[in-house]
Structure 1
């Protein structure tokens, strides 16, 4: 009898170990798959302005502007950017930062917007995108230091520079994360973010649920661990809200009311997180989907940014 019980327990443990092993193998495979989707470079950029867009004429105008290619090296990566001088000579420059799986060409309508407002425009390719080096997408964690490097680059070339940071989606969270860094030069005067997430963890958990109906545990935890192993950071560490709690720079936060990619609720969290006493403004564009606020209401978008820039980087 004892032998039979012992044999049964052994079988049960063998089955349990086999099930756990299969689950671990499946989770490992899923981890590598989703890490590839979320964090590994893909040279097929998305988010270009369609010819049917009311802002497509801005893209066409931007294409005709004289522009130079600027490069710098940060963290042993060569980074690439377009620089477009203003029509009238000025010390004021806007750094325009693109979103997830985009490159600088996707930001041409915004480049034209700031050009028409009278600013020099610098439009970098993030690491892991466009003509910049890098194999990984870092959701702003490393990118924020690249933005700071570009701000220093501009300031070294012109010590009288007054710089604004503008970012869209992942680029928006990147410029928010840069706002609290001690290495950010004093030449940076203000920040505009459009549809940025609170932090990479919240956004990826949200996307796992909305796009794949997958709960956070265990997959998002293991993908975050994979990021720590390969890139040195957990998803929770790429946080806009934590940065904004220290931010002293005036900030304009923009979001679409019908954003289901970076949920609209996140703009309210980001707005609430801004350090007490820091000038802050918010624009929620009615009926705008993700990264579509400018195209949904071009006049309101233009007017709001123009007023904010005249106030904080005239």
Structure 2
């Protein structure tokens, strides 16, 4: 009995340390950009309503529409250069930035979509004030944590007219159970407790429960069929929970985030076609 109790303590302590690590990831330096990459970019500074300064780049719009591009956990804006290039070449304004606690932005707590909603709201505020952008033609594309953030904020911000989420998780509880569920509640609950004690509203990070609140705004879900971090059963459940108009592209042979590596031309085309139909009336 004492041995089982000791094992339980070890498992719980290990998962508390894991949770602290995912709340405070090491920052990744921005990859250097060549002169031809996002050639017309300018530095962008965003101010969130809870007092943080976020840093990024903006490429002006040539078609009056614009898309916010959100990176994933423990990364920065340079993770999404392929997507930004594909959209900017098609004429969209593109805003990509480092979310809180990442890259060159303020903050030291990553909340897995909870407070990151404020980051996206600041980005929408920025685009809505741009002279080159029609504020009725705004969309968002997010990957992984950025995808979940995109879904969460879009549910409450009708200014976002189209949402594309790649490798997103349907809820933080579901993702935690999948990632840390080897020992059931013994390994899952310490992670959730640690997040809650750090100020994360775990239960609020549950876009799947409200996906129909997009109320007719188009949704595109993307996932790799061999993605170990965003498994098919969770992605399928999220798609089934959504209301029309919706689309779901499963990228054959793609691991987490490998859409551009596995099917670059089709990935770029699907993004262009989705936002054209949603923001430009299919033009």
**Length-normalised TM-score, structure 1:** 0.80
Question: Could you tell me which of 117, 136, 148 is aligned with 2:90?
Answer: 117
Question: Could you tell me which of 208, 212, 225 is aligned with 2:180?
Answer: 208
Aligned residue number for residue 55 of structure 1:
none
Measured after TM superposition, the shift of residue 19 of structure 1 is 7.4
Measured after TM superposition, the shift of residue 245 of structure 1 is 3.1
Measured after TM superposition, the shift of residue 286 of structure 1 is 1.3
Range 112-121 or range 217-226, more displaced: 217-226
Question: Could you tell me which of 45, 55, 58 is aligned with 1:70?
Answer: 45
SS of the aligned residue for 2:16 comes to helix
What pairs up with 1:135-214 in 2 under 5 angstroms?
135-158=108-131, 160-161=134-135, 162-181=137-156, 184=157, 186-209=158-181, 214=182
Question: Could you tell me which of 197, 205, 212 is aligned with 1:245?
Answer: 212
| Rounded Cα–Cα distance in structure 1 between residues aligned with 2:88 and 2:38 | 12
| Rounded Cα–Cα distance in structure 1 between residues aligned with 2:29 and 2:20 | 15
Aligned residue number for residue 5 of structure 1:
none
C-alpha RMSD of the superposition:
2.6
8 A contact 2:144–2:169 mirrored in 1: yes
| Rounded Cα–Cα distance in structure 1 between residues aligned with 2:46 and 2:204 | 28
| Rounded Cα–Cα distance in structure 1 between residues aligned with 2:237 and 2:34 | 32
8 A contact 1:62–1:109 mirrored in 2: no
Question: Could you tell me which of 182, 189, 192 is aligned with 1:221?
Answer: 189
Aligned residue number for residue 263 of structure 2:
297
Does residue 134 (structure 1) correspond to residue 107 (structure 2)? The answer is yes
CA 1:38–1:160 in 2, change beyond 3 Å: closer, same or farther? same
Deviations 1:123-159 (A, max 9, x none): 0211111111111111111112321221122213448
SS of the aligned residue for 1:245 comes to helix
8 A contact 1:163–1:187 mirrored in 2: yes
> Greater relative contact order: 1 or 2 (C-alpha under 8 angstroms, separation 6 or more)?
2
| Rounded Cα–Cα distance in structure 2 between residues aligned with 1:59 and 1:307 | 27
Question: Could you tell me which of 20, 24, 43 is aligned with 1:36?
Answer: 20
What pairs up with 1:272-287 in 2 under 5 angstroms?
272-275=240-243, 278-287=244-253
SS of the aligned residue for 2:106 comes to coil
CA 1:105–1:80 in 2, change beyond 3 Å: closer, same or farther? same
| Rounded Cα–Cα distance in structure 2 between residues aligned with 1:180 and 1:191 | 10
8 A contact 2:100–2:116 mirrored in 1: yes
Flag structure 2 segments of 5+ consecutive residues without an equivalent: none
Flag structure 1 segments of 5+ consecutive residues without an equivalent: 1-14, 50-57
Aligned residue number for residue 53 of structure 1:
none
| Rounded Cα–Cα distance in structure 2 between residues aligned with 1:60 and 1:222 | 47
Number of equivalenced pairs: 277
Aligned residue number for residue 64 of structure 2:
91
Measured after TM superposition, the shift of residue 188 of structure 1 is 1.9
Measured after TM superposition, the shift of residue 99 of structure 1 is 0.4
**Length-normalised TM-score, structure 2:** 0.88
